[in-house]
Structure 1
Amino acid sequence: MAGLDKLALSEADIISKFILPAVKDTGWDDMTQIREEVKLRDGKVIVRGQMAVRKTVKSADIVLYHKPNLPLAVIEAKANKHPMGKGMQQALDYANLLQAPFVFSSNGDGFIFHDKTSTTAIETEIGLNDFPSPAELWNKYCAWKGFTQAQLPIVTQDYHDDGSGKTPRYYQLQAINKTIEAISKGQDRILLVMATGTGKTYTAFQIIWRLWKSRAKKRILFLADRNILVDQTLINDFQPFGTAMTKITNRIVDPAYEIHLGLYQALTGPEESQKAYKQVEPDFFDLVVIDECHRGSAAEDSAWREILEYFSSATQIGLTATPKETEDVSNTHYFGEPIYVYSLKEGIEDGFLAPYKVIRVDLDVDLLGWRPTAGQTDKYGELIEDRVYNQKDFDRTLVIDDRTQLVAQTITSYLERTDPMAKTIVFCNDIDHAERMRQALINCNPEQVKKNEKYVMRITGDDNIGKAQLDNFINPKRPYPVIATTSELMTTGVDAQTCKLIVLDQNIKSMTKFKQIIGRGTRINDKYGKLWFTIMDFKKATELFADERFDGIPERIMTVTSGDVTEGSEDIDAFIHDVPDGADDITSDSDFESDEGVEYPTFGGSSDPFGSTDTETNEPAKKYHVQGIPVQIIAQRIQYYDADGKLVTESFKDYTRKTFTKQFASMDDFIKRWNEADRKQTVIDELANAGIIWEALQEEVGQDMDPFDMICHVVFDQPPLTRQERANQVKKRNYFTKYSETAQTVLNALLDKYADAGVSEIESLNVLKVQPLDELGTPMEIVKNGFLR
């Protein structure tokens, strides 16, 4: 590289002229083993008001792979003006995400080599010509992992590549590789915990694909308890299995296929003739994957557990977003501790999951309670039992029509202010409540319903017409239905990519259920502008956010001795009553237990046998309907999810102050950075990436200020100075008189542009191409005639 001034070279030049040649000279294959600019995160979404921005994220400069599924090393490059180890901490962060043990930092003079497999010198300096070969790093990796020759065909099997460029995200690759390694070592019970919306099924597919292709596992059973879960899996993620795959129907297990997808209900039942799984020998399947394993077969006395016990010789993998730990139901007791956990908080921080804001709505009748007057009857003439009814009673034992109407109107008003076509799920206490809410929402939205009668639909397990619209609701391309009222059916297994509003008008005490419901909104769909979602809470359910069990920690319900406090006693597992199409998809036997994520059986118009039934007589509990009770909103507040994974209630001005002070220690530091910047937009973009959304701040402050003056006012309490006021100050001081007449014309026109649109407008060269400046000639002519004489 004679004649090159290395100190003047950019980082990109250092990579292309020094680092890559040094790597390739030792045998690394440019096509299959070297990847540049590897983006590992999407960038967290910051939300304020109705606006959102993504934080910009850096990519790993170079990642070296043994094979596409096995990252070995990360190389971080810096310009030569920096020390050789400048990029090491950044590279270590990327390496931790990829679980790559070899980390390099370089400025083009050599490498700092961080070797996690070393037991002596962890970091050493090596020359450009001493970069380790692929064989060297692979041998060290295998020794570090302790791989045997028998394991290598399994752990080195490639994942499926469909040619679209889609590859597993870093956390999916970790989950896949950890599972494959564990199975290659003989572990036969595995639990994967991954937040809703992070691609559990895609991850399961890649695990199965690699085990199946390597012939480590030849016959596989994928188990679920919802028809929609099986069908989505069959059509989408598992489609590459092609003719090797079948869905178990008509209670027939066809041994001609290798990949079997089935419902518990299609494999077993209370009668011996319904136990279709016994058509094959216990060793027929050598791998069983259980979707949503916190439900159904999690309980030891569940009738569904018999399927897992029958195929006990098979390797069994449990998938869940919400592992369940109670005295009766334990995922970890059966599967062992999770082999990998990727939480909701991690997903939001990485930008793979949508953040949320919470609108907490408190109604007076909920907080104060209601008591009937002496001898008061409901609208059907039923004498109302004399006691104080509170939030837990409403819509279970007491229906206040005015309350239902106010909730529906509050939802409608929010949608009218934001987006009337935003997909919305309203979670109600039972099917009766969901139907009344449907009617109330229809009456609140007459114009929308006239456009399409499916604007509001009840989607519950007992209604085939509503259930038939579920696919349309979750399909981003289908505008209707817009609002779905439900009780239990949509708590899990609903991939609602564009759901922007989740309404909680249901008493929720179970952390497992709460997480599942929140998961209905966490998926991101950039194409359709779904970057975040709103939770509107009428029942204080979002107080569970403050529970230490919320993020990634299994729910533990411990029942202690009689007379002591019982925690979680209201969390009673529900009966399965999904009512999917086909006799193979349903059992009415009450021994078939599940968690809360399914529709309750209907007893006398109620969908919840526990909340609405007299447990002594098994008769439906009375539900009173009253009218004419004035109900008002007495408190409403908006909460935001901050960078520390906590919900905070604050104005955007407060948030801006806190965020800004992390970037600049004082006003002088800010002014210095502003003055040093060649383009002010650079500083504006830096603050935007930190989560300061200028449009939202402008909306809250209500002044036409430039970002500089906005910060001075909001953060440092300086008097507000609008763009027009600042422009007038400049004109009064006659700064431009020292320039030529042409230059003064240009500068005054630019000042007017600044007053109208701000500093970003005048920093663009295109500003010289529009009126009135275009009348003075081309940009080059304006510069030449006005400023170069």
Structure 2
Amino acid sequence: MSLRKEATARIKINRLLEAAGWRFFDDKNGPANVVLEPNVKLKPEHIESLGADFEKSAKGFIDFLLLNKDGKPLIVLEAKSEDKDPRIGKEQARKYARSQNARFVILSNGNIHYLWDLEQGNPTVITTFPGPDEIKNHYAFEPNAERLFAEKVERDFIVLTQMPGYASEAAWKNDGERAAFVEKQKLRFLRPYQERAIQEIQKSAKKGATRFLFEMATGTGKTLTSAAVIKLFLKTRNAKRVLFLVDRLELETQADKAFKAYLKNDFTSIIYKEQRDDWRKADIVVTTVQSLLFNDKYRRLFSPTDFDLVISDEAHRSIGGNARAVFEYFIGYKLGLTATPKDYLKQSKKAKSTERDPREAERRMMLDTYRTFGCESGDPTFRYSLLDGVREGFLINPYVIDARTGVTTQLLSDEGFTIETTADDGTEIKEAFGGRDFEKRFFAEATNQAFCRTLLEHGMRDPISGEFGKTIAFAVSQNHAAKITQILNELADQMWPGRYQSDFAMQVTSDVPASQQMTINFANNNLGSHSGFIENYRTSKARVCVTVGMMTTGYDCPDILNLALMRPIFSPSDFVQMKGRGTRKHSFTEELFDPVQKAARGDVQKTAFRLFDFFANCEFFEEKFEYDQELALPKPAAIQWW
């Protein structure tokens, strides 16, 4: 009997929806605007015979999701069998509606129906279902630059979404408990410069600008700032849906996770590849440019009006080349983000031939990016440099050590590393090699030994445990990374006998299984398990990650104390990103579990980090660079073999 009552209720609800103008299938009036629970395969001839499974709420399925004309969630319809009061599904429906960012709920058993505006009052009895045109969508797209400008953006702009009533909480009102309360609730207040960035967009938009560019140093919170921009546009109805473009898979997950943490109470964020069939339900769609380019997907599956705000992370990468077509396809506001300083737009004075200068191609790409975002003058909409962050106490400037050798100096000259050889016919031949050749042709074991020993002897130590500080070493290739890792582990076994079991250094490159998880574990202080140097202290047993390019853009590991550039870097943006892995501040005391130890130590802050430059990279990117320290590496013949 129960199954029959469920089926009867479903048939009645289907008919009521159709009578109100809702469509289960595409027809001459437009596309389908009713989405059923995901495990129901519905065909037109079966529409009146279904119903047996719609009551399976334990799996968390929405019975009916009604969409507005833009394909976004408008109404969650919670169905119950005829013999049940539909209001028993009230809290379940509220949860579903919040998860979909739908404002309205219908509760129905086929005979009795309630309409509920979640923002206004309680469920009200209705006799017929409202049609698509009879209910106002609070996400109606009405762009208005004046409304955008008038929106007040203060430091708690994001927090008011995370916890609207935070200011009324007792722990917030108590000065002694406030810091712990903010940390526990993971509330993210905007910093003053982030507020200024948003305000610059507001002022530019009021003047008629539709394109904006933020130049913000690594570690200054571009994702949080982006979240504030997204909220501003969605809240003021200057965008109904936002596209966030990245150029690497790991950044996709990172951005989506952040947007959920900051905005989930008001807006829905998804990764496109994970929800290809229902991306229209989301306010924020995160994807890689490559995903949309594949098989011309962006043209086949999207309309130019599907996104009203497009944000491009590391803009000169995610809109370069073919990716520009994706970026320009969508109509609306455009925001570019970059960490590469304006100074790198200057043409190198050292290069004898700019066509051969590896910086030139990226310089041109950056200039093109500035033009794309309406910044032909070279001045972005908003700029916040590494030096700005250091001056205001938000970032740490590196202590840069010049550790080049004669070989590495020549490799970075304009001509490359030049050697003379004799051909078969006896003629003298000069052969030049660039950076891509050196690992294969010139890297002797002794040179790698010198690099590793220099790093271990001069690298910073952890201020709590005294062990070698967490380090990222950038190698030339995966083979080179394997060599460096082996040498570091051999040296560690000599310096700290019995302490490590070939896990002092670990290779973290794309051909290593689970390498992506290794980067996460290193950031979470659990790579190779926890260190045993000191009790009740959370830090990673593995002290050095040797990588090529995985741990650059967007990798957040604030307790890094040493960076080793064991490779030449020719890309300005790569150089900025690698250097930026160490600029974030960190409190080491927070990793202590024992309150007594923590109190005795006080607040031990990261105040510096060391950048070991084995290839004069800093000098390569600047006309003149003054190193903080110079180390004279031994000549290969004098290097001891271990």
The alpha-carbon deviation at position 468 of structure 1 amounts to 2.3
Equivalences, count: 395
2:364 to 305, 319, 327: 327
Q: Residues of 2 paired with 1:189 and 1:480: CA distance?
A: 46
What do the CA deviations read for 1:586-632 (whole angstroms, capped 9, x no partner)?
Answer: xxxxxxxxxxxxxxxxxxxxxxxxxxxxxxxxxxxxxxxxxx95255
- Alignment partner, residue 305 of structure 1: 324
The alpha-carbon deviation at position 503 of structure 1 amounts to 0.6
- Alignment partner, residue 246 of structure 1: 270
What do the CA deviations read for 1:409-464 (whole angstroms, capped 9, x no partner)?
Answer: 22222348775341111112222211211111111112478535443111223333
- Alignment partner, residue 689 of structure 1: none
- Alignment partner, residue 490 of structure 2: 443
1:397 to 438, 441, 447: 441
Structure 1 segment 304-703 matched on structure 2, within 5 A = 304-311=323-330, 313-322=331-340, 325=345, 326-329=363-366, 330-337=368-375, 338-366=380-408, 392=435, 394-415=438-459, 419-446=466-493, 447=496, 451=500, 453-476=502-525, 477-527=538-588, 529-544=605-620, 546-547=622-623, 630=637, 632=639
One-letter amino acid matched to 1:401: E
Contact kept in structure 1, 2:421 and 2:431, CA below 8 Å: no
Q: Residues of 2 paired with 1:371 and 1:224: CA distance?
A: 39
Q: Residues of 2 paired with 1:496 and 1:425: CA distance?
A: 10
Contact kept in structure 2, 1:153 and 1:214, CA below 8 Å: no
Alpha carbons of 1:281 and 1:440: their partners in 2 closer, same or farther (altered >3 Å)? Answer: same
Alpha carbons of 1:547 and 1:632: their partners in 2 closer, same or farther (altered >3 Å)? Answer: farther
Q: Residues of 2 paired with 1:430 and 1:408: CA distance?
A: 16
- Which consecutive residues of structure 1, in runs of 5 or more, have no partner in the other structure? 1-146, 376-384, 551-627, 634-789
Alpha carbons of 1:186 and 1:480: their partners in 2 closer, same or farther (altered >3 Å)? Answer: farther
One-letter amino acid matched to 2:261: Q
The secondary structure found in structure 2 opposite 1:218 is: coil
Contact kept in structure 1, 2:572 and 2:621, CA below 8 Å: no
Q: Residues of 1 paired with 2:211 and 2:145: CA distance?
A: 21
What do the CA deviations read for 1:85-141 (whole angstroms, capped 9, x no partner)?
Answer: xxxxxxxxxxxxxxxxxxxxxxxxxxxxxxxxxxxxxxxxxxxxxxxxxxxxxxxxx
Alpha carbons of 1:333 and 1:252: their partners in 2 closer, same or farther (altered >3 Å)? Answer: farther
The alpha-carbon deviation at position 246 of structure 1 amounts to 1.2
Alpha carbons of 1:440 and 1:334: their partners in 2 closer, same or farther (altered >3 Å)? Answer: same
- Alignment partner, residue 624 of structure 1: none
One-letter amino acid matched to 1:212: L
The alpha-carbon deviation at position 317 of structure 1 amounts to 0.4
Q: Residues of 2 paired with 1:288 and 1:430: CA distance?
A: 35
One-letter amino acid matched to 1:293: A
Identity %: 28
Match status 1:223 vs 2:245: yes
Q: Residues of 1 paired with 2:471 and 2:449: CA distance?
A: 17
The alpha-carbon deviation at position 156 of structure 1 amounts to 6.2
Q: Residues of 2 paired with 1:249 and 1:331: CA distance?
A: 27
Give RMSD over aligned pairs: 3.5
Point out the more displaced range, 481-490 or 469-478.
Answer: 469-478
Contact kept in structure 2, 1:159 and 1:210, CA below 8 Å: no
Contact kept in structure 1, 2:460 and 2:610, CA below 8 Å: no
One-letter amino acid matched to 2:575: F
1:177 to 199, 218, 236: 199
Alpha carbons of 1:241 and 1:149: their partners in 2 closer, same or farther (altered >3 Å)? Answer: closer
One-letter amino acid matched to 2:615: K
Alpha carbons of 1:389 and 1:307: their partners in 2 closer, same or farther (altered >3 Å)? Answer: closer
- Alignment partner, residue 708 of structure 1: none
Alpha carbons of 1:328 and 1:320: their partners in 2 closer, same or farther (altered >3 Å)? Answer: closer
Q: Residues of 1 paired with 2:625 and 2:279: CA distance?
A: 43
- Alignment partner, residue 159 of structure 1: 157
Alpha carbons of 1:219 and 1:494: their partners in 2 closer, same or farther (altered >3 Å)? Answer: same
The alignment's TM-score, normalised by the length of structure 1, stands at 0.46
Alpha carbons of 1:148 and 1:210: their partners in 2 closer, same or farther (altered >3 Å)? Answer: closer
The alpha-carbon deviation at position 508 of structure 1 amounts to 2.2
Q: Residues of 1 paired with 2:421 and 2:302: CA distance?
A: 66
The alpha-carbon deviation at position 166 of structure 1 amounts to 4.5
Alpha carbons of 1:457 and 1:206: their partners in 2 closer, same or farther (altered >3 Å)? Answer: same
Alpha carbons of 1:328 and 1:317: their partners in 2 closer, same or farther (altered >3 Å)? Answer: closer
One-letter amino acid matched to 2:339: A
One-letter amino acid matched to 1:432: N
Alpha carbons of 1:374 and 1:333: their partners in 2 closer, same or farther (altered >3 Å)? Answer: closer
Q: Residues of 1 paired with 2:550 and 2:519: CA distance?
A: 10
The alpha-carbon deviation at position 546 of structure 1 amounts to 4.2
- Alignment partner, residue 236 of structure 1: 258
Alpha carbons of 1:153 and 1:309: their partners in 2 closer, same or farther (altered >3 Å)? Answer: same
Contact kept in structure 1, 2:508 and 2:545, CA below 8 Å: yes
- Alignment partner, residue 768 of structure 1: none
What do the CA deviations read for 1:452-486 (whole angstroms, capped 9, x no partner)?
Answer: 54431112233333332001122355514321111
The alpha-carbon deviation at position 358 of structure 1 amounts to 1.6
The alpha-carbon deviation at position 368 of structure 1 amounts to 8.2
One-letter amino acid matched to 2:268: A
The secondary structure found in structure 2 opposite 1:399 is: coil
The secondary structure found in structure 2 opposite 1:246 is: strand
- Alignment partner, residue 284 of structure 2: 259
One-letter amino acid matched to 1:174: R
Q: Residues of 2 paired with 1:536 and 1:472: CA distance?
A: 24
- Alignment partner, residue 120 of structure 2: none
The alpha-carbon deviation at position 181 of structure 1 amounts to 2.9
2:229 to 199, 202, 207: 207
What do the CA deviations read for 1:270-303 (whole angstroms, capped 9, x no partner)?
Answer: x34xx15631211011011111112131x3xx22
Q: Residues of 1 paired with 2:188 and 2:288: CA distance?
A: 29
Match status 1:196 vs 2:243: no
Alpha carbons of 1:258 and 1:391: their partners in 2 closer, same or farther (altered >3 Å)? Answer: closer
Q: Residues of 2 paired with 1:441 and 1:199: CA distance?
A: 33
Q: Residues of 2 paired with 1:502 and 1:455: CA distance?
A: 15
